[in-house]
Amino acid sequence: MRVDAELIDKILSLKRERNAVILAHNYQLGEIQDIADFVGDSLELSQDAARTEAEVIVFCGVLFMAETASILCPNKVVLLPDINAGCDMADMITAEGLRERKRELPGAAVVCYVNSPAEVKAESDVCCTSANAVKVVESLDADEILFVPDQYLGHYVSTKTSKKINLWPGFCPSHARIKPQDITELRQEYPQAKVVVHPECRPEVIALADEVLSTGGMCRYARRDDVTQVIVGTEIGIIHRLRKENPGKKFIPVSEQAICPTMKLITLESVLRSLREMTPEVKVPEDIRLRAKASVDRMLEIV
């Protein structure tokens, strides 16, 4: 524990020296969340990145999140403390694959979940996150949508709109591990509990939930006075924040299998190393950045 305290002191003093801000996603290890300046979902963290005055952003999350920060803040240094922290879902689509599918669906507007490479955002009309996907789709003039890359989020959106939604076959392996039976068993054990799930879950799981929310939405929901026990259907890292912010309430992870291994790659040691060496830096090439930024900006105008 003493080692951690020393490590944390070093991180915080180097952070001041570098004029850096530490952003952490809700799935990060508890000790990373605890040293961060801001903890949030993908949308909240892109908004934090867009408005920060710090010169350096230490992004404790995965590659697509650091890329989004780089897209929005080209003059800042964006560090991802472990460059292997990718997103399996984002790796299920390429710009070339998307261009091919667009040729097959010339009338469809392309809505791209932020969990995607910058090159794919650059090929899209607008981005969305789990917090605003329905709103973004509804805001478009087009009646036909090509939704990439998450088929389950896209399916969820299709149940909330009359637009025709074409899906891409991507998914999140961590959320796909959550089974309907995990929920039905826990509901029997905790009959008073509310069930919240992330829209990256399978439709059969979503059908059993009381609320379908982004991770930021789950944190706000948990603060409500009428909510005291929650079965939480998303990556287990969020349980740390929920318990910390809501002492006395009960949070039950729906499945211990719902772990995103790349989210756990970032450690206090890698954050310190990253701040010391100012690497690995994530920088999106300017031609891609400008086109990707148009899609991200369109989203930020809508929310």
Report how far residue 70's alpha carbon sits from residue 46's, in angstroms, rounded to the nearest whole number: 10
**263 is an interface residue for ligand SF4 by CB under 6 A:** yes
Contacting residue, 22, 71, 172, 213, with ligand SF4 by CB under 6 A: 172
Site string for ligand 13P, 169-198 (x = CB under 6 A): ---x--------------------------
Order the strands of the 229-233 sheet from edge to edge: 211-212, 194-197, 229-233, 250-253
Site string for ligand 13P, 105-124 (x = CB under 6 A): ----------x---------
Element (H, E) at 276: helix 268-277
**63 is an interface residue for ligand 13P by CB under 6 A:** no
Neighbours of 42 (CB within 10 A): 26
Provide, for the chain, the percentages of residues in helix, strand and coil under a 3-state DSSP scheme, each rounded to the nearest 5: 45, 15, 35
Element (H, E) at 126: strand 126-128
Report how far residue 303's alpha carbon sits from residue 296's, in angstroms, rounded to the nearest whole number: 11
**129 is an interface residue for ligand 13P by CB under 6 A:** yes
**218 is an interface residue for ligand SF4 by CB under 6 A:** no
Angle among Cα 88, 111, 296 to the nearest 5 degrees reads 85
Quick one: 41 or 182, whose CB is closer to ligand 13P? 41
Least distance (Å) from ligand SF4 to the CB of residue 16?
29
Quick one: 11 or 93, whose CB is closer to ligand SF4? 93
Provide the residue type at 58 as one letter: V
**62 is an interface residue for ligand SF4 by CB under 6 A:** yes
**68 is an interface residue for ligand 13P by CB under 6 A:** no
**Window of 82-90, 136-144, 224-232, 275-283 that interacts with ligand SF4 by CB under 6 A:** 82-90
